[in-house]
Amino acid sequence: MLTLENVHVSYGPIRALHGVSMTIGAGEVVTLIGANGAGKSTTLRAISGLVHASSGRILFEDKDITQMSSAEIVRLGIGHSPEGRRVFANMTVRENLELGAYCRKDRAGIREDFDRAITLFPRLKERIGQNAGTLSGGEQQMLAMGRALMGRPKLLLLDEPSLGLAPFLIRDIFSIITDINKQGTTVLLVEQNAHMALGVAHKGYVLETGHIILSDSAQQLLANDDIKKAYLGE
Ligand code: ATP
């Protein structure tokens, strides 16, 4: 479904990705793990067109999306739930969710996905008329995910969905990710919580200072001694 071939990204003089290659098959949950500053968010931004690769290619369903705008990429079926709960603070939960469907016209489908989002996240249903800026951090995280789902993406990019959540909510979020995947959405998950991420993923990539240093099935990565020491705190 998605292929990155030797992708390089720089922010001015700062080189963030030095030739990242990865593949994601339709129906998979793939996780990208790595330390702070490794380039995980940049990889997601490059896929969704928020930054552009200086070299290399990104193919989605065989189309070259490397230099496409983020609006075109959303229309092709890639949704992005960014790190840091980027919700529209002065708009209500309902308005934020509706905005996630801005490029769709199928009213019945939008209604269906709205109902699905508030079923997946009952907390959002309770706060549907509340301004997003007054939600707790965890609720804003759920809203960002719900909003990305409102675009009915084929591929959902999730940046640190567990960040700042209470432990019981972290379990909820990972089980929701599994549900979303079972309902047919392919997921690329960026996480510092490598243990939980590898628990729900089929395979994983390990990113270190802009390079992929390892990729394997999630099971093999969980059993790998170097990964255990560096990322699983064992
Ligand atoms: P974290 O887990 O801390 O969020 P990350 O793996 O997602 O980290 P990125 O946010 O992709 O890492 O950052 C990769 C590198 O690019 C870092 O060195 C960071 O300082 C740099 N960087 C990211 N965004 C910018 C920007 N807008 N301008 C300049 N440098 C940036």
Ligand 1 centroid vs 16 CA: distance in angstroms?
A: 7
**Which residues contact ligand 1 via a Cβ below 6 A?**
11, 14, 16, 34, 36-42, 83, 192
Ligand 1 centroid vs 90 CA: distance in angstroms?
A: 27
Residue 207 β-bridge partners: 212
- DSSP alpha helix (H) spans, the chain: 40-47, 70-76, 93-99, 107-120, 122-126, 137-149, 167-182, 194-200, 218-223, 225-231
ipTM, 2 dp: 0.94
Q: What is the pLDDT of residue 57?
A: 98
- Backbone φ and ψ of 58, nearest 5°: -125, 120
- The percent of residues above 70 in pLDDT, for the chain, comes to 99
Query: Who's near 168: CB < 8 A, 6+ residues apart?
Result: none
Atom of ligand 1 nearest to the CA of 159: 7
Residue whose pair of structure tokens reads 């509340």 in the numeric block = 130
| 169-207 per-position pLDDT tens digit | 888 889 989 999 998 999 999 998 899 999 999 999 999
Atom of ligand 1 nearest to the CA of 36: 3
Q: What is the pLDDT of residue 86?
A: 82
Q: What is the pLDDT along the chain (234 residues), one digit of tens a residue?
A: 999 999 999 999 999 999 999 999 999 999 999 988 999 999 999 999 999 999 999 999 999 999 999 999 999 999 998 887 789 999 999 999 999 998 888 999 999 999 999 998 999 999 999 999 999 888 898 899 999 899 899 999 999 998 878 888 888 889 989 999 998 999 999 998 899 999 999 999 999 999 999 999 999 999 999 999 998 887
Q: What is the pTM of this model?
A: 0.92
Go through the domains of the chain in sequence order and give each one's CATH number: 1-77+188-234 (3.40.50.300)
Q: What is the pLDDT of residue 168?
A: 82
| 51-63 per-position pLDDT tens digit | 999 999 999 999 9
Determine contact, residues 166/138, Cβ cutoff 8 Å. yes
Give the residue, out of 8, 33, 40, 54, with the most ligand 1 atoms within 8 A of its beta carbon, to mutate for a pocket test. Answer: 40
* Residue bearing the CA closest to ligand 1, atom 17: 37
Give the residue, out of 4, 20, 41, with the most ligand 1 atoms within 8 A of its beta carbon, to mutate for a pocket test. Answer: 41
Q: What is the pLDDT of residue 105?
A: 85
Give the residue, out of 7, 10, 14, with the most ligand 1 atoms within 8 A of its beta carbon, to mutate for a pocket test. Answer: 14
What is the DSSP code (8-state) at residue 233? -
Q: What is the pLDDT of residue 125?
A: 94
